[in-house]
Amino acid sequence: MSSVRGVDVSIMGRELTIACTDDEREALLRSVDYLDKKMREIRDTGKVVGAEKIAIMAALNITHELLTTDAGGFDIGDFKRRITLMQEQIDAVVGDDQNPLFDRVD
């Protein structure tokens, strides 16, 4: 079993350290790249302002993609567990709405 390590990532210029196993590192980096791309696309339209609103719109878009895609053998339970873990880690980093991370607009 792989040990858990912190992986430094950047999403829309915000630096985060996410804990994951060595086995999950590559998938995490692909996920970060995908999320970063989606958030930048939303930001670049100019219709949504603020990192928090952009993150919510990206989450909605990705959720829509997930729910409208044929899972065909995909372990949805494992996926849900990973999403829950990531959400808990994000909540731990972001905290509340007073976090200065959301006050900046690139």
Is domain 4-97 given the CATH code 1.10.150.130 in the classification? no
Q: What gap in Å lies between CA 53 and CA 84, rounded to an integer?
A: 20
Q: Per the confidence metrics, is the pTM higher than 0.95?
A: no
SS3 77: helix
pLDDT of residue 84: 85
Q: Which helix (H) or strand (E) holds 31?
A: helix 25-45
Q: Give the pLDDT score at 90.
A: 85
Specify the higher pLDDT residue, 74 or 8. Answer: 8
Average pLDDT, the chain: 83
pLDDT of residue 105: 47
86 HSE (CA, 13 A, CB side): 17
Q: Which of these, 66, 7, 6, 16, lies nearest to 36 by C-alpha position? A: 16
Determine the 3-state secondary structure of 103 from DSSP. coil
pLDDT given for residue 98 in this prediction: 52
Q: Quote the pLDDT of residue 74.
A: 66
Write down the pLDDT at residue 94: 72
